[in-house]
Amino acid sequence: MTQFALIRHGSTAWNKEKRSQGQTDNPLDQEGREQAVLLAERLSTESWDAIYASDLERASETARIIGQRLGINEIHLDSRLREMGGGQVEGTTEAERIAKWGADWSSLELGREAAEAGTVRGSAAIEDICKAHPDGKVIVVSHGAILRNTLRGLVPALDISTKLSNTSITRIEKKAGAWACELYNCSVHLNRSENSL
């Protein structure tokens, strides 16, 4: 059985502005770094074999913060774990999209990566990591949309309608050839932030 903790990166300035990030390479903001520290503390109560991350800075920095706390120096970067490509939508807010393309902008393609493509890309990455760590425990730091589309492929019955929070943990495991999700979008570690930071 291989166990995974799927992590969405910490917060960025564009998250706060509600701007679509897609594959734009934004760094964490200060709150995002603090969130990653709290997450790392939570993960430190368990033993982990490896950390993989998207090669975009907001995910790789989150992974490095976790790795420092866990004593795992090598972060395996995988471009397949990048966020879904947003095309012309990247860098815009909802209000800006409505002003530019109308209220039904989401029905337009606008160069965005299709959900199905994200499912194929993300699922392939997780399956390959699983093969590299049979019976291991692996942390994967990625992005909200690609993680949800990956979960759609691996655990089709899972309700993924709730968007993933920054530094949330989703736990999946592969046992006897089948994937199961035991925890979705959990960020209870952030509740300690008021007291500890």
Residue 104 near residue 14, CB atoms below 8 Å = no
Query: Any binding-site annotation on 58?
Result: yes
Contact 19, 174 (CB under 8 A): no
Structural fold of domain 2-196: Rossmann fold (3.40.50)
15 is in an annotated binding site: yes
Distance CA 153, CA 155 (A): 6
**34: annotated active-site residue:** no
pLDDT reported for residue 194: 52
The tokens of 66 are what?
A: 């976790």
At 174 the pLDDT is 94
pLDDT for res 197: 43
113 is catalytic: no
Q: For position 193, what pLDDT does the model report? A: 53
Among 177, 191, 118, 111, smallest CA distance to 151 is for 118
3-state SS, residue 182: strand
41-98 confidence digits (pLDDT tens): 999 999 999 999 999 999 999 999 999 999 999 999 999 999 999 999 999 999 999 9
Active-site position among 31, 83, 90, 113 = 83
pLDDT score, position 80 = 98
Spans of all domains in the chain? 2-196
The C-alpha torsion from 116 through 120 and 123 to 125, rounded to 10°, is -140
Q: In this structure, are strands 169-175 and 178-186 parallel, antiparallel, or unpaired? A: antiparallel
Pairing of strands 137-142, 2-8: parallel
Low-confidence ranges of the chain (pLDDT < 70): 193-197
Catalytic residue of the set 9, 34, 90, 113? 9
**Long-range contacts from 149-153, C-beta under 8 angstroms, 24+ separation:** 149/84, 149/115, 149/118, 149/119, 149/122, 150/6, 150/118, 150/119, 150/122, 150/123, 150/125, 150/126, 151/6, 151/181, 152/115, 152/119, 153/119, 153/120, 153/122, 153/123
Q: What is the dihedral of CA 197, 39, 145, 161, to 10 degrees?
A: -90
pTM of the model: 0.95
Tell me: is residue 14 an annotated ligand-binding position. yes
For residue 61, the model assigns a pLDDT of: 98
Question: Can you give the pLDDT at residue 195?
Answer: 47
Q: Is 107 annotated as a binding residue?
A: no
Question: Which pLDDT does position 96 carry in this prediction?
Answer: 97
Q: What pLDDT is stored for residue 162 in this prediction?
A: 97
